[in-house]
Amino acid sequence: VDQIDWTDNIWPRHLKDRQTESTNVIQEMQYPKVQ
């Protein structure tokens, strides 16, 4: 669950909840083969 870990470090919890769409985009950019 490294992706969740690094997202938590970059985006605070409350911000991550609000930036769910942006977070998903960033995850795809950083981890294109996550799924």
Each residue of 21-35: pLDDT tens digit? 677 777 777 766 655
Burial of residue 14 (number of CB atoms within 10 Å: 0-12, 13-18, 19+): exposed
Q: How many domains does the chain have?
A: 1
Sign of the dihedral defined by the CA atoms of residues 23, 2, 17, 12, in that order: negative
Summary count for the chain: helices (H), strands (E): 3, 0
Q: How far apart are the C-alpha atoms of 27 and 4, rounded to whole Å?
A: 9
pLDDT digits (tens, 9 = 90+) for 7-22: 666 666 656 566 566 7
- Residue 2 belongs to domain spanning: 1-35
